[in-house]
Every structure is written in structure tokens, then in C-alpha cells.
């Protein structure tokens, strides 16, 4: 299960003058569901295409089971792709689409193919659709067929390029769960590309966050969500308040920072190297998940005093904007006491001691905060 399967070593890729992948290094273990996550244009699809062999790499190496595959043609690599638009062959029916791989490689006889196609259709729960043409299928069905067509070849790795992008919200959510189960059932390593953090957090064993051709952070969903390593990841994953603060004092696990005119104490995660880069009396960035903050009318210790400027009601959660000395903070509460706050109320905003990140101020590349 945890055997080293694929190693991407220092690969670089240029399209003309633009540097698409910058020294990307990744290790992928056998049986993993790994997601490449990042905004569009960050190079995640290019990595996938390099692994598939549909793009060449300009430097570095890609090892599968310890052997270089970088010079192998795509048809010689034992990896298969589920394309963004599924790329089902329109002149072939479902059966012939799925049978395409084994037939063209002559890896199975027709009898064996028949059995395998049936197995695949069962795996993706599409029995009885053999004779359908692909244009008679819905988006979700096409996607299942695309997966079946790839998995019948028993690839070492299945590469999925934003396969849920074209589906509507409800189906997308359903397919997320389906895919995660399917991956465990098929016992195949999945490398999944998406720009949707929810998808990534939902399905993956590990997530690789990318921006502008550079790997920003690799970790489990929990790691990525709670312990974002840098400002980009902090801004890209989850909904956070990201504010510039002045570090006043660092004492043991605690740290006092000044936001506007107020001072609060936080307990940033010491395991993060970057925390140590923030020195006293310098400007740093405080990043707090919106749902790890609380609002109250009564004064609570270690809180910020401000005025509510807006209340958004969004179903299970309530989003409240609070103006603290000119800095706008957003607080998300999953609450039943909707209506207890209204615009203009003076309130105290506190944050969970451990929920905050203190990151060094840096030039942020990418679109972090808007996402």
C-alpha cells in the first residue's frame, strides 16, 4: 500500500517563454488518492499531461516504480487518463469505447474483453448500457464510461483532469463520494486535478497545493486546511480573515499581536516553520478561519471590539461582517440564534486560541484572498 509508486523529480516545463512548471518534485505512493489543487493556470493539468506523456518535460525526471518513463510515448506508459471533456469516441458505442484499450494493445482476447467490460460496467454501475452511443448519455454517465474505459487497462495510475467540472452542483457532490469509494474499490492510485478546494478536501488522501508552477504545500486535507504553510495556501483554502498585524511580543507558545488599535493574544501552531520567521515589532500576517471566530454582546477576554456592518444569512451558516477600527472581519457561525445580531450592534469578536496562523508578510503571488 505505501510503496513508492511515482517520483516526479525537479521537473521544469516551458511553453515558449513562459515557465509553466518550476522545479516540481513530488512523491506518490501506491494506492493513494492525491489531488493537485490550484487556481487555473497554475500548472496542475500540465503535470498530469507530463505524467501521461502527452507533454514532454524540459528538465528533471519522472520515475514509475523507480524507472524513468520520461522518454516513453504515451501509449507505452501504463497510466491512463480521464479527460476533462471525457473524450469518448463518438463513433463507437459504450462497449467498444471501453474495449478500445485492450483491443488496440491486443492485451486480451475478445472473450476476456467481454468479461472485463462487464466487470467495469458493474464497477461504475452502468450495466445494460453496452449498446448506447455516447451522445445518448448524460454528463455523469459519460464520466463513468470514461473511467471504465481507463480502468479496464489496469493502469498503475489513473489521472483525472477536472472530471467533475462539467457537472451540475448536485451531481458533482454525489460523484465526489462515488469517486472516493471507487478509488478504494479499484485499488488504483488516483491523481486528481481540480481547482475546487471542497472537492480536494472531500476526496483526497493527500493534497498538493500549487500556484504559478510551484508546489506550495503537500499534506493531508487536515494539514492543508488547518496548518497552511504560507499566505497563498492560507488564502486559497478555506475562508479566512487575513489581516496585517504588528507582532508585539512572543512568549512561549503565545504571541501578542496588534490589529488596528486592539491587541489580542494568539497561540499559533509551533510546528510551522514560518511562524519563527515573524520577529517581534515587525509586521506579519494573521490568518484566522472565519468559522473559528465568535461574536458576543458581552465583553469576553482576549477579544476585539467592533460594530456589525452586515449580516448575510446563508442557510446553515450566518456570515457577519464586523468593523474593528477600520478593519473588516468576517465571522461565520453555525447557529440557531439567527437574528440576535443586527447591523449597527456593538460586539466583541474573539477567536479560538489555536485557530490562528501567524505568517510572515511576503509578496503574495496569485489570487489567494479572492478565492
Partner 1 sequence: MNKIKQNLPAFPILGYLLLLVGIPLLLVVILSFLSRDSLGNIIFEFTPDNYRKMLDPVYLRVFLNSFSLALFTGVITLLVGYPVAYFTAGLDNKRRSLVILLIMMPFWISSLLRTYGWIILLGKEGLINNILMFFKIIDQPLNMMYKFGTVLTGTAYMLVPFMIISIYNSVDKLDRSLLEASYDLGGGKWKTFFNITLPLTIPGIARGFTLVFIPALGLYYISDLLGGGNTMFLGNLINNMATRGRNRPLASAFAVVMILLVILVLFIYGRVTKSSKESLYQ
Q: Which positions touch partner 1 (CB under 8 A)?
A: 52-54, 73-75, 80-81, 83-85, 87-91, 100-101, 104-105, 107, 135, 149-150, 153
Q: Report the C-alpha gap between 285 and 257 in whole angstroms.
A: 10
Residue placing its CB nearer to partner 1 in the complex, 77 or 289:
77
Count of Cβ atoms closer than 10 Å to residue 133 Cβ: 14
Residues 6+ apart with CB under 8 A from 309: 321, 322, 323, 328, 343
Q: Report the C-alpha gap between 24 and 215 in whole angstroms.
A: 6
Residue placing its CB nearer to partner 1 in the complex, 79 or 231:
79
Shortest Å distance, C-beta 82 to partner 1: 9
Residue placing its CB nearer to partner 1 in the complex, 105 or 270:
105
Shortest Å distance, C-beta 26 to partner 1: 20
Q: Report the C-alpha gap between 318 and 341 in whole angstroms.
A: 10
The H or E element spanning position 346 is: strand 346-351
Residue placing its CB nearer to partner 1 in the complex, 16 or 344:
16
Shortest Å distance, C-beta 190 to partner 1: 15
Residues 6+ apart with CB under 8 A from 265: 254, 255, 256, 302, 353
Residue placing its CB nearer to partner 1 in the complex, 153 or 211:
153
Residue placing its CB nearer to partner 1 in the complex, 158 or 308:
158
What are the C-alpha distances in Å from 134 to residues 96, 137, 322?
A: 10, 5, 52
Shortest Å distance, C-beta 199 to partner 1: 21
Count of Cβ atoms closer than 10 Å to residue 344 Cβ: 8
Shortest Å distance, C-beta 353 to partner 1: 50
If phi > 0 it is left, if psi is from -120 to 50 it is alpha, else beta; for residue 188 that is beta
Residue placing its CB nearer to partner 1 in the complex, 132 or 250:
132
DSSP-based three-state secondary structure for 313: strand
| Burial class of 110 by CB neighbour count within 10 A (0 to 12, 13 to 18, 19+) | exposed
Residue placing its CB nearer to partner 1 in the complex, 87 or 180:
87
The H or E element spanning position 194 is: strand 189-194
Residue placing its CB nearer to partner 1 in the complex, 72 or 118:
72
Shortest Å distance, C-beta 85 to partner 1: 6
Task: Give the cell for residue 244.
Answer: 496585517
Shortest Å distance, C-beta 80 to partner 1: 6
Shortest Å distance, C-beta 236 to partner 1: 28
CB 46 within 8 A of CB 124: no
The H or E element spanning position 68 is: strand 67-68
Shortest Å distance, C-beta 146 to partner 1: 8
Amino acid at each position: 500500500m505505501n510503496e513508492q509508486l511515482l517520483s516526479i523529480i525537479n521537473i521544469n516545463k516551458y511553453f515558449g517563454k513562459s515557465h509553466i512548471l518550476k522545479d516540481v518534485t513530488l512523491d506518490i505512493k501506491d494506492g493513494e488518492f492525491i489531488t493537485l489543487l490550484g487556481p487555473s493556470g497554475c500548472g496542475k493539468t500540465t503535470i498530469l499531461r507530463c505524467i501521461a506523456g502527452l507533454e514532454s518535460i524540459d528538465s528533471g525526471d519522472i520515475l514509475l516504480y523507480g524507472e524513468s518513463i520520461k522518454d516513453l510515448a504515451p501509449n507505452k506508459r501504463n497510466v491512463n487518463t480521464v479527460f476533462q471533456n471525457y473524450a469518448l469516441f463518438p463513433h463507437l458505442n459504450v462497449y467498444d469505447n471501453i474495449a478500445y484499450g485492450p483491443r488496440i494493445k491486443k492485451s486480451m482476447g475478445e472473450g476476456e474483453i467481454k468479461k472485463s467490460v462487464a466487470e467495469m460496467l458493474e464497477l461504475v454501475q452502468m450495466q445494460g448500457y453496452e449498446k448506447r452511443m455516447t451522445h445518448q448519455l448524460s454528463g455523469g454517465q459519460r464520466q463513468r464510461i470514461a473511467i471504465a474505459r481507463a480502468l479496464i487497462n489496469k493502469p498503475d495510475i489513473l489521472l483525472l483532469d477536472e472530471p467533475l467540472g462539467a457537472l451540475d452542483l448536485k451531481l458533482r457532490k454525489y460523484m465526489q463520494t462515488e469517486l472516493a469509494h471507487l478509488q478504494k474499490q479499484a485499488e488504483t492510485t488516483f491523481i486528481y486535478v481540480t481547482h475546487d478546494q471542497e472537492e480536494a478536501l472531500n476526496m483526497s488522501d493527500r493534497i498538493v497545493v500549487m500556484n504559478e508552477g510551484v508546489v506550495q504545500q503537500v499534506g493531508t486535507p487536515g494539514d492543508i486546511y488547518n496548518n497552511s504553510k504560507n499566505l497563498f495556501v492560507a488564502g486559497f483554502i478555506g475562508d479566512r480573515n487575513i489581516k496585517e498585524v504588528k507582532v508585539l511580543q512572543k512568549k512561549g507558545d503565545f504571541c501578542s499581536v496588534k490589529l488596528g488599535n486592539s491587541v489580542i493574544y494568539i497561540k499559533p501552531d509551533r510546528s510551522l516553520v514560518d511562524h519563527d520567521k515573524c520577529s517581534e515589532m515587525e509586521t506579519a500576517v494573521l490568518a484566522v478561519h472565519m468559522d473559528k471566530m465568535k461574536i458576543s454582546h458581552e465583553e469576553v477576554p482576549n477579544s476585539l471590539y467592533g460594530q456589525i456592518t452586515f449580516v448575510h444569512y446563508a442557510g446553515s451558516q450566518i456570515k457577519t461582517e464586523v468593523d474593528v477600527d477600520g478593519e473588516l472581519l468576517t465571522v461565520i457561525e453555525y447557529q440557531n440564534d439567527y437574528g440576535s445580531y443586527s447591523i449597527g450592534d456593538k460586539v466583541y469578536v474573539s477567536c479560538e486560541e489555536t485557530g490562528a496562523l501567524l505568517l510572515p508578510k511576503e509578496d503574495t503571488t496569485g489570487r489567494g484572498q479572492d478565492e
